[in-house]
């Protein structure tokens, strides 16, 4: 693991910070300057650890009021996406679609999936929700956080690298890994 601030191995970084703190604590009279350096070292350490830990996936509140795609139906029963779905894009993501799929940091896109019921004129029960959030910390998945949720909004634990990104990489490597386009939001 590499510390994003020092660029050193994280263990080395932690040891250096601890070293600075110890050296100052065991000195009898602690001058103002080193007290400050201890505070700065601790702060930098806390911030670098916080920046390092990838945040857990949370379904954004209020996405139902974002820009909504047309109703999309996939009637191919062999498809993973058999059913009805709607795509929701926040303001930043809409800018990304308008710029031919070049998305600004922080863009969020949510898809809700529903079963097909009877003649498919009405949506069946919701069965799945997925999220993509542009976040440069997620280097393994193209700078996007991918997350799957059940209909209740609880994380479904689908592997973002093996399941989600694999398919998005195949279908949209040249479109910032986003498969839909502005045409879906007419
Ligand atoms: C088998 C291929 C495949 C897999 C696996 C897959 N997706 Fe997708 N995903 C698609 C396709 C195709 C679309 C476009 C749907 C449309 O245009 O209506 C899409 C659309 C999306 C969108 C809307 C933005 C876009 O790219 O168009 C999000 C968000 C999304 N998927 C998230 C996920 C997440 C999270 C996972 C893993 C839990 C996942 N996807 C797994 C194929 C896949």
CA 179 to ligand 1 centroid distance, Å: 7
Determine the Cα–Cα distance for residues 169 and 166; give it in Å rounded to an integer. 5
Measured CA to CA in angstroms, residue 48 lies from 43, 45, 105, 140 at distances of 8, 5, 20, 19
Q: Which atom of ligand 1 is nearest to the CA of 178?
A: 26
So where are the chain's domains? 10-52, 63-184
Q: What CA dihedral angle connects 146, 152, 154 and 159, to 10 degrees?
A: -40
Token output for 88 = 């929701």
Task: Please report the DSSP string for 64-111 in residue order.
Answer: GGSEEPPPEEE--TTSTT-EEEEEEE-HHHHHHHHTTS-PPTT-EEEE
Phi and psi for 168 in degrees, rounded to 5? -65, -35
Q: Going residue by residue through the chain (186 aa), what tens digit of pLDDT does each one get?
A: 555 555 566 565 555 555 555 665 555 555 667 666 765 666 666 556 555 566 678 999 999 999 999 999 998 888 877 899 999 999 999 999 999 999 999 999 999 999 998 878 889 999 999 999 999 999 999 999 999 999 999 999 999 999 999 999 999 999 999 999 999 998
User: How far does the centroid of ligand 1 lie from the alpha carbon of residue 168, in Å?
Assistant: 6
Q: Residue of the nearest CA to atom 19 in ligand 1?
A: 179
The CATH label, of 3.40.50.2300, 3.40.630.10, 3.80.10.10, 3.50.70.20, for the domain at 63-184 is 3.50.70.20
Q: What per-residue confidence (pLDDT) applies to 173?
A: 97
Q: With a 6 A CB cut-off, is 68 part of the ligand 1 pocket? A: no
Backbone angles phi, psi at 145, to 5 degrees: -85, 125
User: Pairing between strand 144-149 and 83-89?
Assistant: unpaired
pLDDT, position 33: 72
Ligand 1 pocket test: which of 110, 111, 112 has the largest number of ligand atoms within 8 Å of its C-beta?
Answer: 111
Query: Residue with the nearest Cα to atom 22 of ligand 1?
Result: 111
CA of 171 to the centre of ligand 1 (A): 9
Query: pTM here?
Result: 0.77
Return d(Cα 172, Cα 179) in angstroms, integer: 5
Q: Is 122 in the pocket of ligand 1 (CB under 6 A)?
A: no
Name beta bridge partners: 84: 73, 114
User: What pLDDT is recorded for position 118?
Assistant: 82
């Amino acid at each position: 693991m590499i510390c994003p601030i020092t660029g050193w191995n994280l263990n080395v970084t932690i040891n250096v910070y601890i070293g600075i703190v110890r050296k100052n604590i065991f000195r009898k009279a602690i001058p103002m300057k080193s007290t400050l350096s201890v505070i700065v070292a601790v702060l930098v350490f806390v911030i670098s650890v916080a920046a390092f830990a990838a945040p857990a996936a949370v379904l954004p509140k209020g996405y139902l009021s974002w820009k909504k795609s047309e109703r999309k139906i996939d009637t191919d029963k062999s498809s993973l996406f058999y059913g009805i779905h709607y795509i929701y894009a926040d303001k930043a993501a809409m800018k990304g679609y308008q710029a031919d799929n070049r998305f600004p940091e922080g863009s969020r896109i949510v898809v809700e999936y529903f079963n097909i019921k009877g003649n498919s004129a009405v949506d069946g029960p919701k069965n799945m929700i997925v999220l993509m959030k542009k976040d440069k910390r997620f280097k393994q998945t193209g700078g996007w956080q991918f997350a799957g949720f059940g209909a209740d909004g609880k994380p479904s634990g689908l592997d973002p690298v093996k399941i989600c990104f694999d398919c998005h990489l195949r279908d949209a490597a040249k479109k910032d890994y986003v498969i839909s386009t502005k045409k879906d939001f007419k």
